[in-house]
Homo-oligomer: A and B are copies of this chain.
Amino acid sequence: MGWRAVEPHGSPCARMKPRQGFLCLFLCLCAAESVNGGNVLVWHTEGSHWINLKPILDSLVDQGHGVTVLFQNATLFINPKDYSRYKHHLFNVSITHEEQQEFFDEFLQFSLHDMDYLSYVEIYLKLYKLMDKDTGLVVRMCDGLLKSPSLMEELRKSKFDVLLADPIFACSELVAEILDIPLVYSLRFSIANVMERLCGQLPAPPSFVPAAIVKMTDNMSFTERLLNLLFYMSQDALAVLTWRRYDAYFSEILGKPTSFCEQMGKADLWLIRTFWDFEYPHPFLPNFKFVGGIHCKPAKPLPKDMEEFAQSSGDDGIVAFTLGSMIKNLTKEKSNMIASALGQIPQKVFWRHSGDKPDTLAPNTRIYDWIPQNDLLGHPKMKAFITHGGTNGIYEAIYHGVPMVGIPMFADQPDNMMHLKSKGAAVIMDYNTMQTKDLVEALNAVIRTPSYKKNALRLSKIHHDRPIKPLEEAVFWIEFLMRNKGAKHLRVQAHDLTWYQYHCLDVFAFLLAILGVVLFIFVKICKFSIRLCCSAFNSKHKKE
């Protein structure tokens, strides 16, 4: 395990020789203290989670704050050049890149294929196994930083003002507790909102708040409410089981009995990466801020060849198609089926596709390794977006008011698309079973039926019509924490209650006991009175 401090491009540290590394680290950490404004520490994240953090960090840097990102050497999706604008510290972990990739592939296999043929019980057991494996990996990752007193001491010396983290990547809570600084989360969701509910005390009545990834709306039938409740309960049990490893680790590191959830509950603020354009309205707390669409921005002009291709579409317009950065290759059969469908619509199609060129590719479709997704979505000729339903992509579509055809695959994607379908802005396809005809029909429906565009524009209006832009709001609250050393006045007292106290079960039990005693005494008195009457009646009768 080791520690490497890296300064932003062009800094004196970048020009130092390797042997000057330690001096560089010292200088860098000292420099962090002298930065204008605050001093922000950022816990490591991965993949699309990072995409949402980046605009916040850029904005913090623009505001004159020092930003230091922690990252580990087994990262799967992060390229060190992503950190070029910030100070960043690499900590070495005992996990290999291959181990991480293997776990990720296993998770993809489970989400994309296994779930189609496994029974509910098997899915549940497999999910437990996966989550348990994940906590094991995470704990080993945390060791890389937390079990290195020298590294922790360096962080302590840097006097950070706030720690920004995605709670999906555990242990930020320990760093914040040890450094005694406010903790602010940036979170899209946890399965069935276990983190938000159990640890953040977010109220979520199962009758109208569908659990995250359950693929139901807020308008539920009796059966759906039953399933929603059971899903909540089963996921709570799963969380309690898998978090036991974290509980032990957290207690060990802090040297006192504690739990993962207790430490999460100390977070000052939760910046949730959605908004009411996407969410079903639900109860929330003063320290939950909905800042969905942080990364969205106006479209820039397309590269020349793309613009020419777009203009060649005439009045028919264009369609953008991507399945995100995590799906690298489709099977040949699937690619051909999709290409064949795309060839049957009059629009020009921009397809982000990294596999072989499909045999059925039609002239109206062009394949790209990468597409400027936001610029395409904001193009005046844009008609529809074919998407896997990742939050970042759909938020760009909402921002620009583009209706969608969703081909969701795993994690929150199916649930995301259900949100948009229920709001009338999308059609959902089944990745495993869809045929050429289905995709053509879905595209024609979304492009030709005015209600889809109208609803997409309605969501876009809601997205834009708010008192403060999401990025500004996120930065405001991080700066608030630095100015005020936390935001304890926004944290509900429910954190100090047990679950039965929260639901007043002890009070109800007491009231029931009182009622029981009163009824018991009442019945006794009645019986006694009746017996008294009867004996008086009998003795009178006998006398007579």
Contact = CB atoms under 8 A, between A and B. Distances in A.
B286 A276 contact: yes
Interface string A271-286: 0000011001111111
Given A207-B501, A504-B225, A218 B492 contact: yes
A541 interface: no
A226 interface: yes
Interface of A: 203, 205-208, 218-219, 222, 225-226, 229, 276-277, 280-287, 461-462, 465, 467-468, 472-473, 476-477, 480, 483-484, 489-494, 496-497, 501-504, 506-507, 510-511
26 contacts: A205-B504, A207-B507, A208-B492, A218-B493, A219-B496, A222-B506, A222-B510, A225-B501, A226-B507, A276-B286, A276-B489, A276-B490, A280-B493, A281-B285, A281-B286, A281-B490, A281-B491, A282-B492, A283-B284, A283-B285, A284-B284, A284-B285, A465-B484, A467-B473, A467-B476, A468-B468
A285 B203 CA distance: 10
A467 B465 contact: no
Given A203-B203, A207-B502, A222-B506, 16 more contacts: A207-B497, A207-B501, A207-B507, A208-B494, A208-B502, A222-B510, A229-B507, A281-B287, A281-B490, A281-B491, A281-B492, A284-B284, A465-B480, A467-B467, A467-B477, A468-B468
Contacts of A472: 467
B494 A205 contact: yes
Given A208-B497, A493-B218, A493-B281, A226 B510 contact: yes
Contacts of A205: 203, 494, 502-504
A103 to B, nearest CB: 36
Contact of A461 (B225, B468, B484): B484
Contacts of A218: 492-493
A504 B480 CA distance: 39
A406 to B, nearest CB: 20
A484 B501 CA distance: 42
A478 to B, nearest CB: 12
A227 B378 CA distance: 57
Given A284-B283, A504-B206, A507-B226, A219 B467 contact: no
Contacts of A477: 467
A286 B226 CA distance: 25
Contacts of A286: 276, 281-282, 284
Contacts of A480: 465
Contacts of A229: 504, 507
A465 B483 contact: yes
A172 to B, nearest CB: 22
A207 B498 CA distance: 10
Nearest to A476: B467
A58 to B, nearest CB: 19
Contacts of A462: 484, 489
B503 A207 contact: yes
A74 B205 CA distance: 44
Contacts of A493: 208, 218-219, 280-281
Question: Which 10 residue pairs spanning A and B have beta carbons closest together?
Answer: A218-B493, A208-B493, A281-B492, A283-B283, A467-B468, A203-B283, A208-B494, A281-B286, A467-B476, A226-B507
A307 to B, nearest CB: 33
A229 B503 CA distance: 11
Contacts of A510: 222, 226
A383 to B, nearest CB: 24
A494 B283 CA distance: 10
Contacts of A476: 467
Nearest to A279: B286
A260 to B, nearest CB: 22
Contacts of A461: 484
Contacts of A501: 207, 225
Nearest to A506: B222
A489 to B, nearest CB: 6
Contacts of A503: 205, 207
Contacts of A489: 276-277, 281, 462
A523 to B, nearest CB: 24
A324 B367 CA distance: 73
A492 B206 CA distance: 13
A282 B285 CA distance: 6
A110 to B, nearest CB: 29
Most-contacted residue by chain B among A286, A465, A510 (CB, 10 A):
A286
A301 B504 CA distance: 52
Given A276-B286, A284-B286, A502-B205, A222 B492 contact: no
Nearest to A210: B493
A8 to B, nearest CB: 29
A399 B353 CA distance: 58
